[in-house]
Amino acid sequence: MAEYTDPHIDEVAEEVPELSDGDDDDADDEEQWQWMEEDSQPVTCLFCDRLQSSVNATLQHCTAEHQVNLVGLIRKYNLDDYGYIKMINFIRSTKCKASSLAGLPDAPLPWESEAFLQPVLQDDPLLQADPEELCGSDGPRAEGHGALLHRAQAAEERARCSEEALARAMDDLHKLKVLAQGLVLNVETNRSGNLGAVSELREDEDEAYFSSYGHYSIHEEMLKDKVRTESYRDFMYSNPEVFRDKVVLDVGCGTGILSMFAARAGAKKVIAVDQSEIIYQAMDIVRSNQLEDKITLIKGRIEDIKLPVEKVDIIISEWMGYFLLFESMLDSVLYARDLYLTDGGSVYPDLCNISLAAVGDVQKHQDRIAFWDDVYGFNMTCMKKAVVPEAVVEVVKADTLISEPTVIQTIDCNRVCLSELEFSSDFCLKITNTTDCTAIVGYFDIFFDKGCSNKVMFSTGPQVTKTHWKQTVFLLEKPVAVQAGEELQGKITVRKNKKDPRSLWVTFELRDRKQTYSLQ
């Protein structure tokens, strides 16, 4: 089925899945059968080795060449299907002379034995002929062995076709189910919301973003990130007082995991919103866990839909991207907060830190940067200008850290406003080793704090268990010599890429050098 991203009814009408067409298949079947019937096999004569083009040609040949009128024999001995089959097999197996058939007694016939039901030739077309038809009778057809075989094969083929048609019908049914879910569960859209660059993104520009979340694999990766998922779970399960009887909004519910944690933690109602097609899985998942009375799922961008409630008590969301702000999904959470969060309500996670540390990894630097100085004897140094400005998402080995980490920005999700998500910050890295600083690493920490009796946090830093966010590495084009105990001063500026608000520009100023990195 063609993917559809917008749930409007009129648009969906155009997207009605192409259902399989049974009529066409029937026509195909008929054609196939006609073909099979017309496609007669050559027939070996009963009395010589000559091949004939059809059963009728064989009968004529036997009469003309061997003076045996097989139709006459059928009539004379009143042979039914079995008698006819036995006669053919008798003639073939005994290789009896044509003349010996002339003076046979009326009874017993020499092919009386059941043994002659056994075909002598494989797929003998004579056995598939109907003696009554050969005699030109209009009477009811008794089935011969060959005819029975033929009909059994036909029935088998029809069964196979029916099974295929059933599979197609089931598939169509599934498509219709998904379509119906989209129609029923999409509430009226409201495109007046226009807070922030991301909410102004044109739908087609955001399509790639949401379709990436439509595939199961990204959700599998997130769910298997235990640091991430267990932190959300532990926060909700160990602070039931925060959730008891509350109305919760899950912004970007994906598979619905956070909504289900919230429901199990005691929430009165959970509204789960996601624009990507994964929400159809979430609908099944929620039902499979008998939580459909508690959790309402809505497909759509949070900026476009209208919630079925005026206000919510809690907003939960897992919106964090690389270097925290990549993806700019926090914009959507802030949009929901400003529109739907009741006074005194809370957004979770509530606090986030972005931290930096100095890295001294000469080996890696050579591998990524110095490499271009001599590539199979050629100078490709100009490539460095392309390599350096791309921030790299990778796991940094803790033993390559050469400074203490420093927090360059703290975000309180309950208070921050959109404009503060672009910022500049002076920083100071306390160097712990005398060596070359080859890169700056960035990462973030997440806190579930507000009103919690059991606070929960997790870090995406290089010192602790790695997460799917890994770390973000900003390679320095030229390594900087540093001394243990020194304070390496710098300035970082984080801006959204105006052309693609989901990606970021990060600029470092360090020892009179300035380098801008993109994160896309």
Q: Which residues bind ligand SAH (CB under 6 A)?
A: 210, 213, 219, 222-223, 252-255, 257-258, 273-276, 278, 301-303, 318, 329, 332
* Residue closest to ligand SAH when measured from CB atoms: 252
What is the Cα–Cα distance from 487 to 469, expressed in whole angstroms?
A: 28
In whole angstroms, how close is the CB of 260 to ligand SAH at the nearest point?
10
C-alpha span between 146 and 87 (Å, rounded): 13
Q: Is 230 a catalytic residue?
A: no
440/361 Cα distance (integer angstroms): 10
Residue 336 or 488 with smaller CB distance to ligand SAH: 336
Cβ proximity of 384 and 426 under 8 Å? no
Q: Which is nearer to ligand SAH, 263 or 441 (CB)?
A: 263
Under DSSP, the state recorded for 483 is: -
Strand locations in 300-363 (E): 312-317, 341-348, 351-359
Is 329 or 354 the residue whose CB approaches ligand SAH more closely? 329
| Number of alpha helices (DSSP H) and beta strands (DSSP E) in the chain | 18, 17
Choosing from 327, 420, 477, 509, which is the catalytic residue?
Answer: 327
Burial class (CB in 10 A: 0-12, 13-18, 19+), 96: middle
Radius of gyration, CA atoms only, the chain: 39
Return the bridge partners of 493, or none. Answer: 424, 507
Minimum Å gap between C-beta 218 and ligand SAH is 7
Residue 327 a catalytic site member = yes
The type of residue at 385 is K
Give the total residue count for the chain. 520
- Exposed / middle / buried, residue 170 (Cβ in 10 Å: 0-12, 13-18, 19+): exposed
Q: Which of 37, 318, 420, 477 is catalytic?
A: 318
Q: Minimal distance in Å, beta carbon 7 to ligand SAH?
A: 12
Minimum CB separation of residue 487 from ligand SAH in Å reads 38
Pick the closer one to ligand SAH by CB: 132 or 318.
Answer: 318
Shortest approach of ligand SAH to residue 219 CB, angstroms? Answer: 6
Q: Residue 299 CB, nearest distance to ligand SAH (Å)?
A: 9
Q: Which residues in 239-350 belong to E strands, given as ranges?
A: 247-251, 269-274, 295-299, 312-317, 341-348
Give whichever of 253 and 429 is closer to ligand SAH, judged by the CB atom.
Answer: 253
> In this structure, how many other beta carbons lie within 10 angstroms of the beta carbon of residue 329?
20
C-beta of 193 vs 462, nearer to ligand SAH: 193
Two tokens at 60? Answer: 């004529």
Residues in a beta bridge with 409: 354
Catalytic residues: 318, 327
